[in-house]
């Protein structure tokens, strides 16, 4: 009986430790998003596929040959956009162009929606950099929000703040009218 209670006493704190550590991890890092780096990251090839993660104040791009980090405090602007790309893959898409009766063109009509995430930042020397990522539809906004929460700047939010500033003191209803 004493042995059982002792083991219980040991397992309960262990359980709580595991639960709290997983909570902290959840706060620090977001879920990873599959992305394609179109252009911009130093020493990363164009159109490199990888995973985007926002964790510990960094925008991390994990790709085949390594990891690239951008500190959120160095980010000056984040812009998200929507676009579309061919649903039928590259090789099949190219081969299909030779298909008779405009079969290739017909395939071009089938497209899937994608998001673009554009990040502008300055490195340690103050040099300007820009990176463009392509993510699945609906994922870029979540990353943008998380980046802003972890200290990244955007021109849009600062402009919005400026437009709100002069009318401080007035009720929100007045602002909208």
Partner 1 sequence: MRNVRRFTKFLAFCAFLFAGVVLYAGNSQPTGFKVGGIQVATIQSDEITVPAEFRVALYENLVRQLEKQGFERVYRDGDRNSADVPNLVILHSTVRQFKPGSEKARQVTTVAGATSIRVRCQFTDRDGHARLEQDVTGKVRFFGGNLRATYDFAKKASLIASKKFLATDGK
Fill in the per-residue mask, 26 to 65: x = in contact with partner 1 (CB under 8 A), - = not in contact.
------------xxx-------------------------
> Binding marks (x or -) toward partner 1, 93..122, rule CB under 8 A?
------------x--xx-x----x-x-x-x
φ and ψ at 56, to 5 degrees? 50, 45
User: Does 161 contact partner 1 by CB under 8 A?
Assistant: no
**Separation between Cα atoms, residue 55 and residue 29, nearest integer Å:** 4
- In order of 77, 141, 169, the CA distances from 161 in angstroms are 15, 19, 14
Nearest distance from residue 46's CB to partner 1, in Å? 9
Minimum CB separation from partner 1 for residue 100, in Å?
Answer: 16
Interaction of residue 148 with partner 1, rule CB under 8 A: no
DSSP bridge pairs for 77: 120
Backbone angles phi, psi at 24, to 5 degrees: -60, -45
């Amino acid at each position: 009986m004493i042995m059982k209670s002792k083991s219980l006493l040991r397992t309960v704190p262990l359980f709580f430790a595991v639960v709290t550590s997983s909570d902290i991890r959840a706060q620090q890092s977001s879920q990873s998003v599959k992305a394609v780096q179109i252009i911009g990251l130093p020493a990363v090839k164009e159109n490199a596929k990888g995973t985007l993660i926002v964790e510990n104040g960094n925008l991390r791009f994990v790709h085949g040959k390594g990891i690239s980090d951008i500190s959120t405090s160095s980010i000056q602007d984040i812009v998200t956009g929507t676009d579309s790309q061919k649903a039928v893959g590259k090789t099949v898409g190219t081969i299909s162009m030779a298909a008779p009766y405009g079969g290739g063109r017909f395939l071009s009509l089938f497209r899937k929606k994608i998001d673009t995430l554009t990040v502008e930042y300055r490195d340690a020397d103050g040099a300007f950099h820009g990176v463009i990522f392509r993510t699945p539809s609906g994922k870029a906004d979540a990353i943008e929000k998380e980046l802003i929460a972890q200290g990244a700047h955007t021109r849009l939010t600062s402009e919005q703040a400026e437009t709100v500033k002069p009318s401080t003191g007035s009720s929100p209803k007045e602002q909208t009218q």
